[in-house]
Every structure is written in structure tokens, then in C-alpha cells.
């Protein structure tokens, strides 16, 4: 029996599979949002308006994204000759194309679920960034999830859907001509171009709840929007001040009592830091710990249980900073803040940008005093461009390649060796440098507190492969490292600086949830630094100059950070930021600069990360935030962050009667 004649026109018959794809994609998008909404938990309150916004605006973004994802099917429907299209092989080819597209869309949806589980956000700049490093990212996924089982389940699900909905993929054509089909493609192309021009990823960000804004987006669209904005020119996208005014304001804000500017050039931040008395050329070990949020510690409430007993004990034996905030949500942001002492630049970190060589760094100051400065990493330092950056900015790089075949490795995963093996490598470098008669400065970057959270068995009671287990192992390995270092002849003359690169989570209901930037800092040197708790608001970029102040160094500085013990209380601030949103925290006000020259000011809740809009706009803080970020971006863009020859000239310590006061005492 022949099929009943169709009432649809030949052109409608031909392009009917686009309806199949569109309906499938809209349904898949709705299912994805339902699951993400459930995963958000209390992040999205029970509010019908929130649900209407998330699913209504989300459907619009899904339709816009459909314009892009449908192009492979559209090209097939356009280019296939009629006879080949309606043939049996043509029909099976159409089924296969539909199956491949559906499997890919399901795979993207499943990937979004795992991404949301880690970052509580749709695909963003992190996803784009990781795409460059396929070995590490794919390895991380394979070690963290049962990827083979998931792919099999997705393939089975896609096949079932195609079989049940195969009528929508029926190859039918009553006799269309190529030019007729070309009109449909032309209309689709025009709509695609219009969507590129008229629709932006930020248009959905209209509510105060960041989770709802994220749910209303589309993962594929957000991915490509982030890809396009990976290099954001500050002056083009953000609020600006007249350039001289911005720099004049920054010069005033970074001025401290022990500092004197070298020139009157409004765009020159070079200043002499002068302390009375001899410098303390102690060894320095700076450990930036992967994802060590403050709330892991019992000292800050310990919401994850008692998993850091050693670090909590160390807080009472160290100069411990209670009110320190990270620059960002990525490792490169922490490394950038610690090595260069600069506010974060929008888009890419300076560590990954072109022309990032010979910048003024912390290592330069140590090297000028005869130190050997090493960056030590347990993985392969090509990741995130770390080795290139550090090796071109005063550091010798030491990584996984420097661990010999005969050296003991207790455990390793795709990110590198276990922290205890990393510390063994660091101790080896410390021994060698000490034997050569030089003091050493080591910056050690850990990896064990990173998914898949695996570590050597038998070290802690917490379960392997869990975040709590990885944090407990981080705590154990740092204590083990210090204990091993204690037996070394140079221990008494070594300062251990331990902090985090960023927090374990960056998500919250506000655009910049301030509790997701709170990190700890220990400065431990029992023979030289008295234990105390430092309550001042401290930025991650202040760590380097504060350390140099404790060492009583007199030097030329071009840092944006300041010695927190010299910074007046009314100028304490921090720079919590995402790759697009640039935060400036001062007092109880958080100013956030955004692309399209937008901004917001809120009162952040330091415990929950929620925020309430500020009643009266604080123009002074808006200008301060603008000046800091604008000046940093401008100096890098103009190539003026470099280490100049005169920076290496020794600075005479302040003498009695000089206007510059003595260095802050280590017994604050």
C-alpha cells in the first residue's frame, strides 16, 4: 500500500527534518534546565517568576543556538540532489546524520551537568580555556567519571529517540529545485547573522540571582560567547576615566609611608621602598595550594568537618591572615597575583597573554640579592603556559620532567605527582641551592586538591576520590613537608608562606559571591616571626610586598599591591573577579565593573555570598575600582610592566632622621 499523499508543499517536505531537530533540541534544553535547577538546590528559591524567567528566556536562547547547531543538517537538506535524497541510502544517511547530531547534543548536555557540578555555571571561559589542554582535560574526565559507561548510555538513548521519532526524519521531496532550497538557506543565514549581531550572552543577566541568570542561558551559546570574549580590551569594553586621572588616583592609592616615587610621570608607579636596618636574607618557600578555601578550616567554621587539623594548629603558630581575598577563580589568577602583584586583567590572565616576558616580578627582587628563584610544579608546566611565563620572568622552572625515573612516586594522576612527591622534589632543590651557598626562593604550586582528588592510600581516613579526602591529604602533606624540612640545617632561616591560588567553588547567587574568594594565609618562621592573627582586609596582591616588608627589604617597587602593615586602614581593599566581572571590595561595599561599561554596587554578605544593592551609589569607590583596573590593563598593553635596569640598583636603607619610617615589626 502506498503512503497517503502529503498536503505539505515539496519545500516543506524537504526541510521537515529541521522541525525534528528543533523540537528535539528544545525538549533537551528544557530537560537539562530541570536537572540543573534540581542541582542548584537552595541557590534558586521557590519563586514561580524565577522558573518562568529561566525556562522562558532559556527557550529563546535555545532557539538562537538552534540557528547554529542546525547548519550541518541544513546543508545536507540543501545540497543533496532530489533523487539521491529520497533513495534508500539517502534515507539511511539522513537517519545517521540525525543520530550523530542528537548524540552530540546529548553529550554536550551531559557535559554541562558535570561542568555545573564542578563550577555551578554554564560553560564559560574556563571551558574554553581547558579546550586547549586536551591531554589534561580528557585525562581528568577519564579519571573522575565512568566515561565509557556514560557514552554507551548516551548512544543507546540517542538510538532509541531516533527510532521512536523516525517519522520526523522521513526523506520526502515532491520535486524541489536547487534555487528554491537556496532561498530557505539564505533566510537561515540572514537570521544567523542577525542573531550574532543582536544577541549577546549578557542580555539574560537581568536578575539579582546569578543561578537563575545562568539557567536561562544555553551552554553551547555561552561557550562560543566566552570564546569570543577571551581577549577583552579594557578600554573598549569597560568604564574608563581620563588616563592621567586614573593613574594619578592609583599613585595616591598605592602610596605608603615607607615609599617614595622616583619620578613625577603620572603613569610611572616606580617607587623606592626604604626600611631602616639590615635586610633579612632568609630563605622563602611560597606554597600556593590548589583550591584551598578558607571554610575548609575549623578556624573559619569548618563546614566540611575537621579535615585540616594540622593547618588549624599551624594558624596558632604563624602570622595568620583572617581577612584575605583571592583575585580570581583560576590557578593562573593566583599565580599572577603572587608573582606580579597586579589586579586581574579582563579575559585572559597575563600568564597566558602574548608579550608577557620580562615583567617586574617578586623573583626579580630576590634575584637582585643573590637568591635562586624556582617555580616548582608537580605536573607538566606547559599547562596554562606556566613554564613559559615563569622562565621568562625571573624564575627557574622545575616540573614533572625533573623527577628521575629512579625517584619514588607514591601516586600520580593526570595533573601530576602527589603533593608529598612534589615536596620531595622541592626539598631536593632547596638542598642543592643551599649547598651552593645561595639563599633560595621557591614558589611551589600543588595539584592534589583538584578533581579527580586522588592521593596515596593510607595517609588520611577520608575517602580517596573525594574533595574532603583531598583537602585532608593536603593538610597531611603540608605538615609532613614542614616536618621533613625541620631536619634541614637551613630550616631556622626559612620563611614558609602558605596560601591558596583560589577557592574550591566560585558559584553563588550574586555575580561575585564574596565568600567564594576568602582564602587563608600563613607566614611561618618560628625563629623570626611571632604568631598573631592579622585582621586587616588583605588582597592577594598584597602578599608579596607584605612578605618583603617582613624581611625588611629596601627595594624599588612597581607593584600594585602594598605592605598591609604600611597601608592606611581607609585604603584596605581586595580585587575579587571573574574573567569578565572585575570586583573591588572596600569596607562593606563591593563594586563590580562589567563589559558594555556596566557596573553594580552591592553590600556583600561575607558568610553567604549573597548581596543587596547599595542604597546610595559610592562614586569614589567606582572611580577607585576603575582607576586600578584601567591602569593595570593600560600598563600591560603599553609594555610598561617590565623590569627595568634601574630596578636592580640597591636601595639605601632608611637612616635615623629619614622621613621614611622603620619597617613594620614582625611582632604585630
Give the contacts of 344 (CB within 8 A, at least 6 positions apart): 327, 328, 333, 336, 337, 575, 577, 582
Whose CA is closest to 536, among 325, 292, 369?
A: 325
- pLDDT tens-digit profile of 485-532? 999 999 999 999 999 999 998 888 898 999 999 999 999 999 999 999
Number of residues assigned to the chain: 668
CA distance linking residue 307 with residue 289, whole number of Å: 15
Residue 298 is predicted with a pLDDT of: 95
CA distance linking residue 90 with residue 172, whole number of Å: 10
Residue 71 scores a pLDDT above 80: yes
Give the contacts of 453 (CB within 8 A, at least 6 positions apart): 464, 465, 466, 467, 469, 470
Q: With bands split at pLDDT 50, 70 and 90, how would you rate the model's confidence at 646?
A: low
Residue 85 is predicted with a pLDDT of: 96
pTM above 0.75, yes or no: yes
Beta-sheet pairing, 396-398 with 538-539: unpaired
Q: Where are the domains of the chain?
A: 10-228, 236-371+419-437+473-641
Kindly compute the dihedral angle of the four CA atoms of residues 16, 17, 19, 21, in this order, to the nearest 10 degrees: 180
Residue 201 is predicted with a pLDDT of: 86
Cα 661 from chain centroid (whole Å): 38
Whose CA is closest to 623, among 364, 266, 248, 320?
A: 248
Q: What is the mean pLDDT of residues 35-56?
A: 94
* Residues above pLDDT 70, as percent of the chain: 93
Fold type of domain 236-371+419-437+473-641:
Alkaline Phosphatase, subunit A (3.40.720)
Residue 660 is predicted with a pLDDT of: 40
* 8 Å CB contact between 664 and 563: yes
Q: In Å, what is the CA distance from 138 to each residue of 89, 126, 148, 155, 449?
A: 35, 14, 12, 19, 18
How many secondary structure helices (H) and strands (E) does the chain include?
A: 22, 18
* 8 Å CB contact between 411 and 468: no
- pLDDT tens-digit profile of 164-175? 999 999 999 989
Q: Which residue has the higher pLDDT, 615 or 462?
A: 462
Residue 6 is predicted with a pLDDT of: 54
Phi then psi for residue 405, to 5 deg, are -60, -30
CA distance linking residue 250 with residue 440, whole number of Å: 32
On the question of a cis peptide bond just before residue 452, with omega within 30 degrees of 0, the verdict is: yes
Cα 542 from chain centroid (whole Å): 19
Instruction: Give, for 358, the enclosing helix (H) or strand (E).
Output: none
Q: Which residues pair with 416 in a beta bridge?
A: 413
Instruction: Give, for 500, the enclosing helix (H) or strand (E).
Output: strand 494-500
* 8 Å CB contact between 588 and 496: no
Whose CA is closest to 341, among 635, 648, 36, 144?
A: 635
CA distance linking residue 516 with residue 610, whole number of Å: 11
Residue 649 scores a pLDDT above 60: no
Residue 405 is predicted with a pLDDT of: 86
- pLDDT tens-digit profile of 199-252? 988 899 889 898 999 999 999 998 888 776 666 789 988 999 999 999 999 999
Q: Which residue has the higher pLDDT, 130 or 14?
A: 14
Q: In Å, what is the CA distance from 380 to each residue of 375, 422, 423?
A: 12, 12, 15
Residue 427: CB atoms within 10 A of its CB come to 17
CA distance linking residue 513 with residue 214, whole number of Å: 14
- pLDDT tens-digit profile of 453-474? 999 999 999 999 999 999 999 9
Q: Which residue has the higher pLDDT, 178 or 121?
A: 178
Residue 1 is predicted with a pLDDT of: 40
Give the contacts of 667 (CB within 8 A, at least 6 positions apart): 530, 532
DSSP state of 343: P
Residue 604 is predicted with a pLDDT of: 97
* Residues above pLDDT 90, as percent of the chain: 81
Lowest average pLDDT, out of 172-186, 354-368, 602-616, 639-653, goes to 639-653
Question: pLDDT averaged over the chain?
Answer: 92
- pLDDT tens-digit profile of 411-437? 999 999 999 999 999 999 999 999 999
SS3 per-residue string spanning 24-58: HHHHHHHHHHHHHHHHHHHHCCCCHHHHHHHHHHH
Whose CA is closest to 307, among 146, 532, 460?
A: 460
Residue 552 scores a pLDDT above 70: yes
Residue 123 is predicted with a pLDDT of: 84
CA distance linking residue 138 with residue 135, whole number of Å: 6
Residue 655 scores a pLDDT above 80: no
- Angle, CA of 253, 256 and 257, to the nearest 5°: 145
- Angle, CA of 370, 375 and 379, to the nearest 5°: 160
* 8 Å CB contact between 429 and 442: yes
Whose CA is closest to 333, among 502, 145, 107?
A: 502
Amino acid at each position: 500500500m502506498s503512503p497517503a499523499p502529503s498536503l505539505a508543499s515539496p519545500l516543506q517536505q524537504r526541510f521537515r527534518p529541521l522541525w525534528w531537530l528543533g523540537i528535539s533540541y528544545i525538549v533537551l534544553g528544557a530537560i537539562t534546565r530541570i536537572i540543573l535547577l534540581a542541582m542548584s538546590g537552595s541557590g534558586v528559591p521557590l519563586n514561580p517568576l524565577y522558573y518562568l524567567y529561566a525556562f522562558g528566556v532559556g527557550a529563546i536562547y535555545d532557539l538562537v543556538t538552534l540557528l547554529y547547531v542546525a547548519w550541518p543538517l541544513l546543508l545536507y537538506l540543501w545540497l543533496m540532489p532530489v533523487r539521491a535524497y529520497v533513495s534508500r541510502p539517502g534515507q539511511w544517511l539522513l537517519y545517521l546524520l540525525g543520530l550523530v547530531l542528537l548524540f552530540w547534543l546529548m553529550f554536550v548536555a551531559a557535559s554541562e551537568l558535570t561542568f555545573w557540578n564542578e563550577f555551578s555555571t554554564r560553560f564559560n571561559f574556563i571551558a574554553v580555556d581547558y579546550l586547549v589542554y586536551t591531554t589534561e582535560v580528557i585525562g581528568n574526565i577519564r579519571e573522575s567519571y565512568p566515561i565509557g559507561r556514560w557514552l554507551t548510555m548516551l548512544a543507546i538513548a540517542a538510538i532509541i529517540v531516533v527510532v521512536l521519532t523516525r517519522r520526523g526524519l522521513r526523506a520526502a521531496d515532491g520535486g524541489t529545485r536547487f534555487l528554491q532550497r537556496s532561498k530557505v538557506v539564505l533566510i537561515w543565514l540572514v537570521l544567523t547573522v542577525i542573531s550574532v549581531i543582536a544577541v549577546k550572552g549578557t542580555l539574560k543577566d537581568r536578575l539579582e540571582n546569578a543561578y537563575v541568570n545562568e539557567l536561562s542561558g544555553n551552554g553551547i551559546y555561552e561557550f562560543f560567547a566566552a570564546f569570543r570574549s577571551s581577549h577583552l580590551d579594557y578600554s573598549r569594553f569597560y568604564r574608563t576615566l581620563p588616563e592621567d586621572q586614573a593613574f594619578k588616583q592609583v599613585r595616591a592609592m598605592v602610596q605608603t609611608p615607607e615609599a617614595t616615587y622616583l619620578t613625577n610621570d603620572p603613569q610611572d608607579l616606580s617607587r623606592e621602598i626604604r626600611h631602616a636596618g639590615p635586610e633579612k636574607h632568609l630563605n622563602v618557600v611560597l606554597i600556593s595550594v590548589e583550591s584551598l578555601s578558607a571554610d575548609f578550616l575549623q578556624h573559619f567554621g569548618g563546614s566540611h568537618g575537621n579535615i585540616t587539623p594540622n593547618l588549624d594548629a599551624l594558624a596558632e603558630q604563624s602570622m595568620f591572615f583572617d581577612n584575605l581575598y583571592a583575585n580570581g577563580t583560576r590557578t593562573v589568577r593566583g599565580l599572577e597575583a603572587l608573582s606580579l602583584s597586579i589586579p586581574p586583567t579582563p579575559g585572559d590572565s597575563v600568564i597566558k597573554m602574548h608579550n608577557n616576558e620580562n615583567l617586574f616580578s617578586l623573583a626579580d627582587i630576590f634575584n637582585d640579592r643573590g637568591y635562586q628563584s624556582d617555580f616548582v610544579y608537580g605536573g607538566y608546566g606547559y599547562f596554562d603556559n606556566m613554564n613559559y611565563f615563569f622562565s621568562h620572568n625571573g624564575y627557574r622552572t622545575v616540573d614533572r620532567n625533573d623527577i628521575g625515573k629512579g625517584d619514588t612516586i607514591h601516586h600520580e594522576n593526570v595533573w601530576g605527582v602527589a603533593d608529598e612527591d612534589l615536596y620531595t622534589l622541592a626539598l631536593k632543590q632547596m638542598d642543592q641551592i643551599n649547598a651552593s651557598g645561595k639563599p633560595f626562593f621557591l614558589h611551589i604550586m600543588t595539584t592534589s586538591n583538584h578533581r579527580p582528588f586522588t592521593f596515596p592510600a593510607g595517609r588520611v581516613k577520608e575517602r580517596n576520590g573525594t574533595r574532603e579526602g583531598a583537602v585532608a591529604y593536603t593538610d597531611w602533606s603540608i605538615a609532613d613537608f614542614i616536618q621533613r624540612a625541620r631536619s634541614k640545617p637551613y630550616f631556622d632561616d626559612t620563611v614558609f608562606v602558605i596560601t591558596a591560588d583560589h577557592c574550591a567553588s566560585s558559584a553563588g547567587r550574586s555575580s561575585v559571591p564574596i565568600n567564594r574568594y576568602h582564602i587563608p594565609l600563613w607566614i611561618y618562621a618560628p625563629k623570626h616571626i611571632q604568631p598573631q592573627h592579622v585582621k586587616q582586609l588583605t588582597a592577594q596582591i598584597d602578599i608579596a610586598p607584605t612578605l618583603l616588608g617582613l624581611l625588611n627589604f629596601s627595594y624599588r617597587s612597581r607593584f600594585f599591591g602594598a605592605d598591609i602593615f604600611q597601608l592606611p586602614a581607609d585604603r584596605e581593599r581586595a580585587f575579587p573577579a571573574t574573567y569578565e566581572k572585575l570586583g573591588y571590595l572596600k569596607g562593606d561595599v563591593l563594586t563590580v565593573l562589567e563589559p558594555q561599561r556596566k557596573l553594580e554596587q552591592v553590600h556583600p554578605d561575607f558568610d553567604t555570598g549573597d548581596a543587596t544593592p547599595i542604597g546610595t551609589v559610592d562614586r569614589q569607590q567606582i572611580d577607585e575600582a576603575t582607576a586600578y583596573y584601567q591602569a593595570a590593563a593600560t600598563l600591560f598593553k603599553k609594555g610598561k610592566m617590565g623590569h627595568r635596569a634601574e630596578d636592580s640598583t640597591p636601595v639605601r636603607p632608611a637612616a635615623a632622621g629619614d622621613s621614611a619610617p622603620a619597617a613594620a615589626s614582625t611582632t604585630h
